[in-house]
Structure 1
Amino acid sequence: MSERLMALAASPTDAAQAAAVELRRRYEWVDPRKADLIVALGGDGFLLQTLHAMLDRHRPVPVFGMNLGTVGFLMNSWSPDLLEARLLAAKTIKVPPLRMEAVTVEGERHTVPAINEVSLLRETRQAASIEVCVDGRVVLPELVCDGVLVATPAGSTAYNFSAHGPILPLESALVALTPISPFRPRRWRGAILSDRTRIRFRALDPVKRPVSAVADQREVRDIDTIEVTIDRSNPLTLLFDPEHALDDRIAMEQFAI
């Protein structure tokens, strides 16, 4: 394990910063640009930030998160002990991100990655009016709603679940297409699609009913069209303790009351 260079990232919370002081005292660390793996201290939100930083690297490295936040669904338990042994025994899970290609009403083009979900959301009190295409075929000529999202398995327990979307097993090769407060068609509750699907949204009245597109926390306003696909060219790697049964935790969320 000593041959692998570790970098440390910590959220600005008091608990994470105190833990970082303890780890810096006990282990050797390098600059993240030289590291073979990243140890991230915080909650799920901070892990998401750390993974997004990996997307900007030519060679994304594995990330081992330790929970010093609130939920920590994607994190391992916090302990300063035997860290090198934990990393040596850790199992890996590949997480391919989404890629959002957005075009605004002014013709500006934006390509933005997302790890959890891409959401199309109304900007005003007016409901959004959106055409939905799957692999080049119009499947919903007009979806009237507060919004609609595409979620990865890793993100299916986040915003997608709050919008009553399905929970997806982590290695299921599926994405969830989930409406947010749909008004018409009233009975449509979404779809589960192959992660090789190309999903395209078009704002039908972008002036009267403007919509924004959000890839995780990055927003592009006044959207004309967006296309969402899985980006297989730049997969991310999460590290977990062997006893951290993430798929089991995701499955059991379906029975949470």
Structure 2
Amino acid sequence: MSFTPQEDESKDRLFVEALARGLRVLSAFRPGESALSNQVLAQRTGLPKSTVSRLTYTLTKLGYLSQDADSGYYRLGLAVLALGSAVLGSYDIRRVAAPLMRDFALKHTISVSLGMRDGSDIVYLETCRSQARVSVQLSVGSRVPLASTAIGRACYSSLSTTERELADTDMAARYGQDWPLVQAKLEQARQQVLQRGYSESFGEFERDVMAVGVALPSPAPGQGSLCLNASGPAFAFDADTMRQQIAPALMQLARQIVPGA
């Protein structure tokens, strides 16, 4: 879940500020965290602690949060899970992709994931981990940055000029003074995709992870850009292996999932 309020939203008479604040609270939770206090939620959202307290109370009453009886901290509730399941269920491509991805992961002893762009991030819709003893530990719902991952770079490279300009604006705000360097890396990745059909990220997102990525056509009008990656530990996959074996296989997987990809 991604929420990035804009300065001019307060001038939009259709914009419901109370709803937006509640969504900011839900967006503050990150994968792998057990529970958060009102103080931490206030820090992450930039909202006053008194406002956060009212929001967490309301969200708990509605089932979107649950409160630990001992610590008083909050975790995401089952109502959020129901929403997430509804979202994932709306993407029919997952049902097509999942068995093909499992076969790919088993055959190549590498993890493979399907993701969709959400602002300047990629959200994983499906993932199949390698059966190897050590594999990349990301799961459905995990978020990774567009700029430094193979899956993100593949997705970025597939955007239209207008979409890319909007993504650039988001990332310029996110990376600040580092944006020119980040932008140069993204353009380099885009040229690679145009020439070779895939992107790569070797130790840039996680030092010991090697990954390649490819883009998929949108499965339906109005749905965002989809992309695939294959990622594995650097001790098992070097750059040559990723480029010569895994990348061509991943492009073939993309064509199996969406003919003509």
TM-score category of the 2 structures, normalised to the smaller one: under 0.3
- Which structure has greater helix proportion? 2
TM-score normalised over the length of structure 2: 0.27
Structure with the bigger RCO (C-alpha within 8 Å, sep 6+) is: 1
- Which structure has greater strand proportion? 1
TM-score normalised over the length of structure 1: 0.28
